[in-house]
Amino acid sequence: MFGYILSLGFKGIFGAFVALLTIGAAAYPLFGSDFVVWYLVSTVSAGIIFCTIYIIATRRELQKRARYTQALLQKYSSAIVERLNSFWKVRSIRKTVTIQANGDVHECTTIVASPVGQELTFYRMWVGTGPRQQQRYTARKQVKVQVRGPVINGARGISRDVTKTWLDDGRLEILVLFPAAIPPKQRFSLIFDVYWPGKCERLVKDKQPDEFTFTVSHYLERFDYTVILPKGKEFLYEPIGFKSPSPNIKLSPKFNKDEDQSRIRLRANRVKGVVCIGMLLQLK
């Protein structure tokens, strides 16, 4: 039915409505005023219903086309950016995850990189939930992202506009455009702040094991990953992606008595190849 109404279009519906009104006017001498009033009321009501259905059908069709277009743009842009990933080299990454008592999470990631071979005008990063963490589609709209930088030669970077896209695998893709191109070999820093409500509810409320990992897809000089737990919480932990002790990866739990707060820090140097490293945590 929606398809037929869409095929008529607004002009077709309006033409049919005018034709029906003309028929009603012509029927007045034959059937009298009562019939014509009933006919006109029925015709107007049917016209309103068909117009409403047409608007709903048009909106659904536009939404369908928009989703399809977005999927195509995402596919094409991902293919293009994958080829451009070789145009920058990440030197070091420092990430701090602060978990609130209600399971809300603030992730602060600082990336130091430099362009390779040509000027760089953008940077792309992904964040997401682990396999054990909450993945609620209703919470996606509440995820907030702020990016500062690029920071060059110690100059403080200001907040930048970002483009956010949710991928099919549940990750959030963050694309930041630079106000000016960065020349090759020039080191710069970007600071990503992500506020994710309820991301660690499973860890905090249910006291179930939770994974905190980072995938390294290239040689990385330094990697520093810290998870700060809610106050007054003790925890158990295991390494992910490496065996402890490791010559170039160190996992260090720490408890601050003054703040009554526990944290665990992973430090890695000269990480090679495609690896996923991190830690598995569980509250006592």
Q: Cβ contacts of residue 100 below 8 Å, gap of 6+?
A: 106, 204, 230
What pLDDT sits at residue 270? 87
CATH of domain 88-283: 2.60.40.1730
109 within 8 A of 94, measured Cβ to Cβ: yes
What pLDDT sits at residue 52? 72
Residue range 8-54, pLDDT digits in tens:
555 555 566 556 556 655 655 555 566 556 656 666 666 676 667 66
What pLDDT sits at residue 97? 95
What pLDDT sits at residue 4? 47
Listed as ranges, residues in the chain with pLDDT below 50 are 1-6
What pLDDT sits at residue 2? 44
